[in-house]
Structure 1
Amino acid sequence: MIDKLEMFIALAHTRHFGRAAEECGVTQPTLSAGIKQLEEQLGVMLVWRGTRYQGLTPEGQRVLDWARRIVADTRAMREEMRTARQGLSGVLRLAVIPTALSTVTALTTPFRARHPDIRFRIFSRSSAEILAMLEDLEADAGVTYLDSEPLGRVRAAPLYRERYMALAPAGGALAGRESLGWAELSALPLALLTPDMQNRRLVSQHMAEAGAEADPVLEANSVITLVTHVTEGGLATVLPSRLAELFGRMGGLDAVPLVAPEAEHLIGLVAPERDPATPAVAALMREAQRLAEAEV
């Protein structure tokens, strides 16, 4: 039954029979037959059908909750037995907010030094997408904000506090400045992350607290795109201080702290609230705790 539950989870996530079949590595008729067999075994209709997928029935939504738990527990059991046989190994899928991609190496590098048979697969995702990936079993853990929006059913380990800097072409609007008020950003041609990104919502929030409005001339879901438009397009942006200082050194840009208000937010590792956690996720949580202690 596990393979049929895997198919059902994929269908609920993709909302499309063809894409779900591709995700599971089977043909569409095989997936459709598997869902039908699952319905027959459980004695309920799980999916509203027409010419295409039309959503889950109320019973289907309840079964989805059970399916996620059963599949997650099965995967955890298999991983624990593999670890007992051959030590920690396999692939850890880590979803990371774009502004933390440059700092996640502080977590992954020492972890791999301790566990060389672990490989990482890293995805750049928004904070909301990270939580959805954890729920849908598409990611094993995530790096995201811990203190500004609800996290739901996850366990969390703080990593570091994110502070903010303005970044602009050298010798331009920030030349000679030791700091910049959030309200002053409104006078600059801004490139910011798209509104679905939590970093952008925080930037807009802090500008509003200072009596200004975030009205960028360019929006993107990529930090590299923002920095490129600062470097080559004469725009300004807002980045976490570690990232701003890195790009400032590499690209000869001016980076100054943002003040009034002094803003900081907690970044951390999150994983599904399951007991027991998989051996790899439990080890990653311990690594996050060591990193946080070193930050203090």
Structure 2
Amino acid sequence: MTERLVSHLRYAALAVPNFEEEKNFFIKHWGLTAVQSDEGLVHLAAEGSPEPFILRLRDDEKRIDLVGMATKNRRDLHKLADKLHAENVTFIHEPQELTQPGGGYGFRVFDGDGRVLEFSTDYELRASRKIREREPIPVKLSHVVFNSADLAGSAQWYIDHLDFTISDSLVTPTDVDLMHFLRCNRNHHSIAIAQGPHHSLHHLSFEMRGIEEWMRGSGKILRAGTRMIWGPGRHNAGDNTFAYFLSPAGNTIEYTTELAVLDEDTWHPSRMDTSLMSTQDQWGTAAEMSELVARESFNDIDEGLFVAPPV
């Protein structure tokens, strides 16, 4: 196996036009903690995660600002930067000291579709805590899923340049690719890419402590008046539970738990037929996947491609 230089997913950063409403939703209802808040910018942490923050919101037109990933150390970070330079990846800035919560050292690039990726290391960890039994708040950011108008090309960029590996794929009954689940460590996926009509955010997923906390969290969000798009259920790919909601800004966000951790020496990817109910939901408790559900997850066209965010 090729040595991976990317160690794990750190955070997602979104720009939203209804900043105060979105900020209040993620703090009051979703269960995140504000660690730094300025005018039009907030960094939100998960109580169970040592990451300095797992979600950043910025007041602006709707877009994915960036996705942050980590390397184990500066040696790996510089090796990754050298590799990406040699492969003619477009840099936004070179390795430098970072000024965000937790600090650190890192660089930013555009991926093949124009999304901004940040790679960092040597940042200060946050004092986290064990989430209590039945406490319905996220433990950490689980994964980020993109829509792409070119599924094959988008996924191949992560494979070629970042050494991600396909864990499983969703396909049509005629074996046409619909979604690839990509991993950078033993977690089944940290990034996934879905075939869509345009480039956009498909969803952000937040890990809960366990099934009980996941169900209580889902009930809490429903009682807050938030619309559940799909769930509750349990996927086949990744073996994780799912409950998808629509945030006030119209982004799909997920509570999940028990994402599969793989033995990479023995794992073989599967191609799962989405026409089989068990592919989408092993339990059969969620409504069947429909065009209405898919349309919500297509989201609005991301207008931020190949445009670096101001922070």
Larger Rg: 1
Question: TM over 0.5: same fold?
Answer: no
Q: TM-score range by the shorter chain?
A: under 0.3
Please report the TM-score for the alignment, with normalisation by the length of structure 2. Answer: 0.25
More strand by share: 2
- Tell me: higher relative CO, structure 1 or 2? Use CA pairs within 8 A at least 6 residues apart: 1
TM-score (norm 1): 0.26
Which has the larger helix fraction? 1
